[in-house]
Amino acid sequence: MESQKALNPPKGECRQCWYHAHASREAHKGLGPREDCPACVDHMVNGHGNMIVKG
């Protein structure tokens, strides 16, 4: 189960990056040990969009 820390990124952080860093097992469930996460790859290529915490 993801922690409250994983679900509550601080101001200036990307919600997806924060979640994937602090709840990695949950975020990457079902991926093989050397398999890239499609959501992470898309995020790295296309940027953070409106996912940065403002306040």
What ranges do the domains of the chain cover?
Answer: 4-46
- Yes or no: say if 34 and 28 are a contact pair by the CB < 8 Å rule: no
Enter the pTM of the model: 0.84
The separation between CA 35 and the C-alpha centre of its own chain, rounded to angstroms, equals 16
How much is the average pLDDT of 16-36? 94
For residue 10, what are the contacts with CB-CB under 8 A and spacing of at least 6?
A: 18, 53
Looking at residue 52, the DSSP 8-state letter turns out to be B
How much is the average pLDDT of 37-48? 94
> What integer pLDDT is reported at residue 1 of this predicted model?
61
